Amino acid sequence: MHIVRSARRRKTVQLQIRQHQIICRAPQHLPDAEVLEILTKKSDWITQQLQRPLAQPKQYLDGEIFCYLGQPYQLHLVHGTKTDVQRLTDRLVVTTAQTTPDQIKAILIHWYQQQAMAELSDRVAFYQGQISVSPSRILIKSYKTRWGTCHADGRISFNWRIILAPLTIVDSVVIHELCHLIHLNHSAQFWQLVQQHDPDHQLARRWLKQHGSTLEI
């Protein structure tokens, strides 16, 4: 178990399970005894999470399955002098002269990041008029523990890995961050606004807690 003491204004304890490792984020001032008490109360949930099978690491070989917006695509490697990635009906075709797994992985990550920028920009454009907001900038990042962030200057950052999730989950993350442009907190008013534009946001949150660790390539 890894306990992280937050120097920020964290008021609650947050538990995360990543690759069968328990990460506990706790307020700086909270005594160890109280942290352990919370962990004891959550023991059933922790056990359930630890019993889940780990996602098998990718080998970046021809025929492997990669997801895009929740849909499976079979990787198809084609030798060529110019690097290119195409998403067809049921295949992800990578044309390249590079052959090592690390090289294929780098090509795919770059492609996914490009697609994330395009798709998320479209979803932001779709919802910003409904919520009556306009972000100053959209950024694509590689976060470890979050799916999106709204900054005080109006910038919104998204974790590119969210593009692997179904569109309904992507939309929920987009709406969440756009609502932060009005309420830069998690107050009751914020959640009321989220509920207004995304009635199923709690289902999306649960989905990400259960499946977020599988959104890897």
User: Which stretches does DSSP call E strand in the chain?
Assistant: 2-6, 14-18, 21-27, 65-68, 71-79, 84-87, 91-96, 137-141, 148-150, 155-159
Domain boundaries, the chain: 2-50, 65-214
Count CA atoms closer than 13 A to 8's CA, side-chain side. 5
φ/ψ (deg, to 5) at 59: -105, -10
Q: For the segment 12-65, what is each residue's pLDDT rounded down to a tens digit?
A: 888 877 666 778 888 888 888 888 888 888 888 787 777 665 667 889 999 999
Topology (CATH) of 65-214: Zincin-like (3.30.2010)
0.75 surpassed by pTM:
yes
Q: For the segment 75-115, what is each residue's pLDDT rounded down to a tens digit?
A: 999 999 999 999 999 999 999 998 899 999 999 999 999 99
Q: For the segment 135-192, what is each residue's pLDDT rounded down to a tens digit?
A: 999 999 998 889 999 999 999 999 999 999 999 999 999 999 999 999 999 999 999 9
pLDDT above 80 (res 73) = yes
